Amino acid sequence: MELLIKNARIIDCSQDFIGDVYIKDGRIFEIEKSISKDCKIIKGEGLVLLPSFIDLHSHFRDPGFTYKEDIQSGSRAAVRGGYTSVNLMANTKPVCSSMEVFEYVKNRAMEVGLVDVHQTISITRNLDGKDISHLDEISNEVKFISDDGRGIVDNRVMYDGMMKAKSMGIRVISHVEDEKLAFFDTRLSENLMTNRDVALAEYTRCPLHIAHVSTKEAMECIIASKKKGTDLTCEVTPHHIGLTDEVEYKVNPPLRRSSDVNFLINAIKEGWVDAIGTDHAPHSIEDKRNGAPGISGIETSFPVCYTRLVREEHISINKLSEIMSKNPGKIMGLNKGKIQIGYDGDLAIVDINKSFRVAASEFQSRGKNTPFEGMELYGEVIYTIKGGKIVYSKEVN
């Protein structure tokens, strides 16, 4: 399969120029000012060509909650948002505590064929917060373990989980929440659990990724540990930098004060934030009415971040590409995230010059739950390309 993108503004973490990109046999084969080939051509005039986005933190709800989302609808939502690689959390039904569920998700994603899917295994069996014996049965295909959706309250269990992960070369993704504390103070809950998990990572030397950082204090703790050289990465979500607690919308962790948002944005500017994680959490209308926390966010992630971070001149678009493509690709061990010869031909073509309004009715996700409804944003995805194949086109979707 061959594809040529011509006269686009080519941007990744380290470059920005007008030119052509030629993809052959699934990989980037040539990058030049002008290329001529007898193959399918996309005209890129006036558009920006970026590495496709990589999501370290997403929920496709399959198996068990497919009325909210399934692998097909989640994959369609991902490519509409410019994503070709996602890491799915384990809080399905059954919980992904076994290679059987892992293999089901992997095989189903391959059948759908739109995005590369990695499935996370739970730290504790069935998210019970106690038993980690199932980790002895997982294969070396597993890159991450996480009880995302719940924090592991028992210190010894988290310690044992980190020691096991370290011995297997696996990174732990931490959902920093003590549910008992969160009942009356979500801020205290996040901050204390962040401090504990960071301390355990320093002690065990286990690679640790902190999910959906939302408070100033939690980020300060992470920065202090990073300065010590801890193998520690972190993500922020589009909604935690795009919204404040003045917006009434239920997510976990909650939307925070403007002072927190400003601190997170400054941490991105200074290079302390490794990735944008969407925490894509689709729900049915009924579940959302009944108080289910979460945003269907993978389709609005890039426009929210581009509008909030780049157009408001906090960071360059190169920096945004770094935290949406390069860094998460490196954390996941993928040959993706840069526009460079030899890298996978996974790209997104976006229009950064024309605004559009978010309409949940147009989402490919089954979850239409978004606080961004009607918001004017820039950075609409026009094409998503995976391995040189167009997997999303605004013109035909």
Cα–chain center distance at 345:
19
Dist CA 239 CA 301 (whole Å): 8
Short-list 21, 22, 19, 1, CA closest to 9:
19
Residue 364 CB coordination number (10 Å):
19
Within the chain, where are the H helices? 71-80, 99-112, 155-168, 179-182, 186-204, 216-227, 238-242, 258-269, 285-289, 301-305, 317-321, 327-332
- The H-assigned helical ranges of 52-91 are 71-80
| Cβ neighbour number for residue 362 with a 10 Å cutoff | 11
Look-up: residue for tokens 């998990």? 197
In the chain, what are the helix, strand and coil shares in percent, each to the nearest 5?
35, 25, 40
- Per the annotation, the verdict on 351 as an active-site residue is no
Give the C-alpha separation, 135 to 167, whole Å: 11
Distance CA 367, CA 287 (A): 10
Helix axes 216-227, 258-269, angle to 10 degrees: 20
End-to-end CA separation in angstroms for the chain: 22
Instruction: Work out whether the CA dihedral 87, 90, 96, 98 comes out positive or negative.
Output: positive
Catalytic residue among 279, 344, 346, 351: 279
236-264 per-residue burial string, b: 16 or more CB within 10 A, e: under 16 = bbbbbbbbeeeeebebbbbbbeeebbebb
Residue of 156, 256, 243, 149 whose CA lies nearest to 213: 256
> Which residue in this structure is represented by tokens 């995805």?
381
Would you please indicate which residues are annotated as catalytic (active-site) residues?
Answer: 279
